[in-house]
Amino acid sequence: MIKALYKAFEVRWKSYRHRFVPWIALNLQKNERTLRQVKDRSRDKLVEDEEVLGSLVCLFTELLKNDMKNQSELLRFLPQAKRDKYTNVEDETRDAPSAVMLNALGFRIERKRSSLQLAGTGVFVTRGRAPKGSIVAMYPGTIYQPDEPIFFQSIRNPFVFRCIDGVLIDGSDRAISKIVYRSCSGRDRLGPFRLGDCSWLTSDPVNPLAVGQYVNNCSNEKAANVCYQEYDVPEGFPLELRQFLPNVNYRADAQRPLRCVVLVSLRDINCGEELFSNYYTIVH
């Protein structure tokens, strides 16, 4: 009986550890291939914020156009010039979000069983090719400042991501984490405009990028092909496109920009390849 329980724990741990932040931190020095050193948060960027903004706006614009049946009422609240940008669409057929991503960015990603033994779910490029420097995924979830409570949400939760400045992102789509995210997202609206996306909590996210929490850490056998990059959403981000952002602040704070984390390709990633990330550490 004890042997069977130990075996079950061992199998679960081998899957869990690929996303468990303390385990990764303790093992970074054992495996330099999993480590990317940066001097401070401002130097963790492989691509400029303007490029991140451009990629997100490009995809989100196409996602909005693809859903005109449900978006037309919302667009009435926009100035005419902005409204024309979205309503001047000849083809009214609705495509799957992954197809929209393929057309907009030239590739698409999907969750599938990881090629890493016992690692559970992974993320793969399933169509097209992601060129070096592409935004290939986003890390969804509730944003916690260092002084905000996350203890109960973090129990048995392998999806808590730590930013360089100590900000935490809870990317779990289950249990209390799911409840907290839905509550905070329902709170944050500006009139008729939703300021965040809840669909990543389901098996069919409207924003196909919002699966970054399922990207596994690299290993000696599987080198990293993507890395994390922090991105604070600028004040001028289009209001009508914020509905596709898969993040929300735990505490409402209009003075603080919304933190997002994107995954950037370190090289060209071809169709069929799984995404593997590395972690950064501060060096002085």
State the CATH number of the domain containing residue 234.
2.170.270.10
Residue 51 included in any domain? yes
Give pLDDT, residue 241: 95
Domain count, the chain: 1
- Domain span at residue 189 reads 21-283
Q: 204 Cβ partners below 8 Å, 6+ apart?
A: 97
Alpha-carbon span 66 to 101, nearest angstrom = 11
Q: Which residues pair with 247 in a beta bridge?
A: 141
Beta strand pairing call for 141-144 and 247-249: parallel
* Inter-residue contact 31 to 220 (CB < 8 Å): yes
Rounded-to-5 percentages of helix, strand, coil across the chain: 35, 25, 40
Would you give the end-to-end CA distance of the chain in angstroms?
A: 50
Alpha-carbon span 227 to 15, nearest angstrom = 20
Give pLDDT, residue 43: 61
Give pLDDT, residue 94: 81
Give pLDDT, residue 20: 44
Give pLDDT, residue 30: 44
Specify the amino acid at residue 29.
Q
**Beta carbons within 10 angstroms of residue 151's beta carbon:** 6
Which stretches of the chain drop beneath a pLDDT of 70? 1-44, 88-92, 254, 279-284
Residue 240 included in any domain? yes
Residue 90 included in any domain? yes
Q: 257 Cβ partners below 8 Å, 6+ apart?
A: 232, 233, 234, 235
Residue 11 included in any domain? no
Residue 10 included in any domain? no
